[in-house]
Amino acid sequence: MEKKKYIAARGRQTAYYHLGEGNERKLILLHGNASSAAFFFPTLYKLAEHFEVVAPDLNGFGDTEAVPVKAPTALHDWAQDVNALAQALGFERFALLGWSLGGGVAWRYAALFPEKLSHLVLLSPMSPFGFGGTRGEDGEMYDARGWGAPGGFANPAFIAKLKGKDRGNDPMAARAVLGKSLFAAGWPLEKEWQDLFVDELLKIRLGEDYYPGDYQPIAEFPYVLPGSRGISNALAPQYADVSGIVDISPKPPILWIRGDKDGLVSDRSYSDLAVLGLMGAIPGYPGEDVFPPQPMVAQTRRVLERYRENGGSFVEVVLEGCAHAGHLEAPDKFSAALTEFIL
């Protein structure tokens, strides 16, 4: 197992993996929420056969030196961190892959630095309108406060297990939560990889400045509103709308890869307050007519269609039988699709 390397970027130490040095094509991988760069293993080995691959730990995760996450600018800040890393490594032009939350960072990076990207790959990305708080394919916000967005909705039992560094098999401990949220049929990987992922998740910074962040209480449903600090709030629609990517120039070609069994980023996500309300898990739910589920996949498709209408291009690849971590559940299909797209 490769060890992480460290490099100074934007005034602090960034931890990253670096494989496939000497290959002509450059590829940077951005991980999702509640994870780290290590979550690209073991598939990362396949990619390193074709690319020089760099996978950093984003601020707040893994072993990168952390600074407080400011929700209104978090996607921008993470994108700037990626740019500083690329500059430090001498990557002048490269392909960029963003998974889940990392997809939001990749959307933002493309908006800031489109000329630096040869290709953009979105792996089960968060909606370009953020996570929660919007309705319809065009991402209409319920109101400017981010009503229905994720601030304050992290499960307290899960947070307690993270604080306690629980490596056991409790249903709310890291191992079980990862197995249920990432994979369609439970862990597809050997125990050594499971142990690595659990250890990496437990490195996440906790508290109001990191995960999950602060929140604003309100008396009525949904009872809390996003705050201005921390990782979860960074996904609120008033902060995370990256749909302006349709207007960037130049427009790198986009590959969108997703699993057909993804329950996390979905048109009926089990993390969506509307879906939880429909299930009776949240009291006071006003009903689907007032607060319908966020169509996350449909929103992504609509923005990508507009991207194509404005002169760009995109390809959609659906991995059958896969959930949120298709690169781990179907590594051969994933690697083949990525390699064919870029090479």
| CATH number for the domain harbouring residue 83 | 3.40.50.1820
Instruction: Say if 208 falls within a structural domain.
Output: no
Is 149 in contact with 216 (CB distance < 8 Å)? no
Q: Where are the alpha helices (DSSP H) in the chain?
A: 43-47, 74-89, 101-112, 156-163, 174-182, 191-201, 237-240, 273-278, 296-309, 326-329, 331-342
Q: Is residue 172 part of a domain?
A: no
Q: What is the pLDDT of residue 1?
A: 80
Residue 249 falls within a domain, yes or no? yes
Q: Is residue 230 part of a domain?
A: no
Q: Given this model, what pLDDT does residue 76 score?
A: 98
What pLDDT is attached to residue 151? Answer: 78
Cis? peptide before 72, omega within 30° of 0: no
pLDDT value of position 298? 98
Tokens of 291: 């607060």
Tokens encoding 121: 């790959």
- Here the tokens at position 276 are 């939880």
Domain count of the chain?
1
pLDDT at 150: 81
In a domain? residue 13: yes
What residues in the chain have per-residue pLDDT under 70? Answer: none
At residue 152, the pLDDT reads 76
Give residue 153's pLDDT: 82
Strand, helix or coil for residue 118: strand
Q: What is the pTM of this model?
A: 0.98
AA identity, residue 243: S
Is residue 164, in this structure, part of any structural domain at all?
no
Question: Is 198 domain-assigned?
Answer: no
Cα–Cα distance between 258 and 260 in angstroms, integer? 7
29, part of any domain: yes
Q: Which domain holds residue 112?
A: 5-146+238-342
pLDDT at position 308: 98
